[in-house]
Structure 1
Amino acid sequence: MSDSQSILKQAAMQIGAGGSAGFVEVCIMHPLDLIKTRLQLQTNKVSNHSDPHYYNGIVDCFKKMYKHEGMFSYWKGILPPILAETPKRAVKFFCFEQYKKIFLFGSPTPTPLTFSLAGLGAGVTEAILVNPFEVVKVTLQSNKTLAAQMPSTWAVTKEIVRKDGIGFSGLNKGVTATIYRNGSFNMIYFGFYHSVKGYLPEYEDSLKEFLRKLSIGFVSGTLASCFNIPFDVAKSRIQGPQPVAGQIKYRGTFKTIGIVYKEEGFAALYKGLLPKVLRLGPGGAIMLVVYEYAYNFLVMKFN
């Protein structure tokens, strides 16, 4: 087999494993992503606890959504992430492997800096590609009507394009916030996971080794989530419905962070942190472990 064929084969296995990891993760963890978005879109000015769309935390949100919108409301907006996550994770893991080669800086083996910079590069690339899906997903998730009245993903996409186009006011709204969010997340996520995994000794027992990787992945996802959530809050506010129809209040990542901090306090920048950690802690672990096992399976199968 020629070098070019070998490179293409390796890339195909990386893309296949990454896509599998994304699909599994989003199907399991999507309800918590929806809860996170609902909480982030809720301002402190909303204080009517009798309002069926006022959520006093995660449990209350789950209960009210089930009561007023039905069981399937937990998977509102799942089609955009399913459509996005397979290529998104495929691109993320593939790009990470390619950026690793760039950021070796002459070292024979990857260093923690290599892993972190490769993660940053992969996150930025991922953010640019996936942002239109994020805009549609947030629009769907912020819809509080009954599930039976829920518009289709395609209908929402067409409406966004019709009203605002595909530029920075339409399908690419909030792209800078998405870049900050995904870039910072993946920098910590990949940097921590691969650095710590290489430092801690492997187990010969397959179950213990699986749990070792799962634990490191969980900590990686949790740390990255805690670091990048202000950017996530800004992204949700920019891409979600504005407080006053026809007026753009949230525009620009750091300007939006400043507005939220000034009007709602420091804690508001961490709205949705618990569901985010509950999703991306185990979700991050699931992705990394599924990727590694899927990639190793493909290598054994086709090499």
Structure 2
Amino acid sequence: MADIEKHLKQAAMQVGAGGSAGFIEVCIMHPLDLIKTRLQLQANKSSLKSSDPHYYNGIIDCMKKMYRNEGLTSFWKGILPPILAETPKRAVKFVTFEQYKKLFLFGSSSPTPLTFALAGLGSGITEAILVNPFEVVKVTLQSNRALATEVPSTWTVTRQIVRENGLGFRGLNKGLTATIARNGIFNMVYFGFYHSVKGYLPEYEDPLLEFGRKVAIGFTSGVLGSCVNIPFDVAKSRIQGPQPIPGVIKYRSTTGAIVLVYKEEGFRALYKGLLPKVLRLGPGGAIMLVVYDYVYHFLEDKFQKKHRNL
């Protein structure tokens, strides 16, 4: 009974810490996620008019044109779906990561780098299955180039997707395999690097130096994960976003989308949106892991104090 209570308390702390970390990270870093999606959705410049106000030459150009044509609030288009998804998503990410760690110990008394990597992969796959419908709605909202005040609501877009294409792989769950590949690979690198390196680098007694250590490791983890999984992110955006010709599905499968982008637009096109992705998930990865650690330990102290007072 005591073990069950202990596990429930740990799960509650992981949910609270993960939800807090996800909410803060999304609110701060969402504009860069939107810019990343816009860059990934557009084809090569040669196929578009140079005067097109919706063609973006880079991050700064995208920000200028979005601000001029869609308004300041446009940078937070599609933020509601990730906010709604973040608490369960981060809860699943961290709770399942802890459970997968036990599964992949392979007889070792303590987790190894392989344990962290495989546990991260498992948590990413589980997380992707949960969050994919929110991703479909988010990308649909982010791809809308109307003024922010004219963009339909999250609920309206969700109903339209379900009404027109249902809940399956052409509707609210399209791009699921791409999301699984993207999240699985990212979490494998992200958790694998962070926990392995954190265990090798000595902790600092100075709170400020220790904070800097965690931020640096978290930042590097986010950057590495972003660089490795970006082709799958491009495929996901192409599959879930509006197709080039309305009514005609050009990007169907993950591998098919990657091959098609490579053939038509070249190798570099598979890394579209990498800079805003790195700018978001580098600091975003650091924010999430550091907030998670501090909130988790804060809740842990609260539980222990409460237990001692009983």
CA drift of 1:87 comes to: 1.2
Per-residue CA deviation, residues 79-107 of structure 1 (Å, 9 max, x unaligned), is 00000112111110111111111111111
CA drift of 1:46 comes to: 4.2
Aligned identity (percent) is: 77
1:86, 1:78 → 2: CA distance?
14
CA drift of 1:47 comes to: 3.4
Per-residue CA deviation, residues 174-204 of structure 1 (Å, 9 max, x unaligned), is 0000000000000000000000000011111
1:106 aligns with 2:102: no
1:4 is aligned to 4
After TM superposition, the runs of 4+ consecutive aligned structure 1 residues lying more than 4 A away are none
2:39 is aligned to 39
Q: What is the SS of the residue equivalent to 1:231? A: helix
Q: In structure 1, list runs of 5 or more residues that go unmatched.
A: none
Q: Say if 1:46 and 1:54, in contact at 8 Å, map to a contact too.
A: no
What residue identity is the alignment partner of 1:13?
Answer: M
1:28 is aligned to 28
1:226 is aligned to 227
Per-residue CA deviation, residues 59-88 of structure 1 (Å, 9 max, x unaligned), is 000001011110000000000000011211
Q: In structure 2, list runs of 5 or more residues that go unmatched.
A: 305-310
1:55 is aligned to 56
TM-score (structure 1 length as normaliser): 0.99
What residue identity is the alignment partner of 1:146?
Answer: L
Q: What is the SS of the residue equivalent to 2:115? A: helix
1:231, 1:294 → 2: CA distance?
31
- What do you get for the CA RMSD once the two structures are aligned? 0.8
2:78, 2:161 → 1: CA distance?
15
What residue identity is the alignment partner of 1:299?
Answer: E
2:73 is aligned to 72
- Aligned pair count reads 303
Per-residue CA deviation, residues 227-271 of structure 1 (Å, 9 max, x unaligned), is 000000000000000111111110110110000000000000000
2:195 is aligned to 194
89 and 46 in structure 1: CA distance in 2 versus 1, 3 angstrom threshold: farther
What residue identity is the alignment partner of 1:148?
Answer: T
Which structure 2 residues correspond to residues 79-118 of structure 1 after superposition, within 5 A? Answer: 79-118=80-119
CA drift of 1:48 comes to: 2.4
2:227, 2:268 → 1: CA distance?
12
1:13 is aligned to 13
1:274 is aligned to 275
TM-score (structure 2 length as normaliser): 0.97
What residue identity is the alignment partner of 2:262?
Answer: Y
Q: Say if 1:33 and 1:279, in contact at 8 Å, map to a contact too.
A: yes
1:261 aligns with 2:262: yes
2:116, 2:247 → 1: CA distance?
44
2:218, 2:47 → 1: CA distance?
36
1:59, 1:139 → 2: CA distance?
22
Q: What is the SS of the residue equivalent to 2:51? A: coil
What residue identity is the alignment partner of 2:229?
Answer: N
Pick which of 41-50 and 155-164 moved more.
41-50
1:259, 1:248 → 2: CA distance?
13
1:302 aligns with 2:303: yes
Pick which of 3-12 and 25-34 moved more.
3-12
1:214 aligns with 2:221: no
